[in-house]
Amino acid sequence: MPPASSRPVDNLDDDDYPAYTMGRAAEMLGTTPAFLRALGEHLLITPLRSEGGHRRYSRYQLRIAARARELVDQGTSVEAACRIVILEDQLEEARRINEHLRTQGRESQSKNSA
Is 58 a residue whose pLDDT tops 90?
A: yes
Overall average pLDDT of the 8-37 stretch:
87
pLDDT of residue 44: 96
In this structure, how many other beta carbons lie within 10 angstroms of the beta carbon of residue 49?
11
Is 14 a residue whose pLDDT tops 90?
A: no
> Which residues, other chains included, contact 57 with Cβ-Cβ below 8 Å and sequence gap of 6+?
18, 19, 20, 21, 22, 25, 36, 45, 47, 65
> Which residues, other chains included, contact 35 with Cβ-Cβ below 8 Å and sequence gap of 6+?
26, 29, 65, 69, 72, 78
Is 65 a residue whose pLDDT tops 90?
A: yes
Overall average pLDDT of the 31-35 stretch:
96
Model confidence, pTM: 0.77
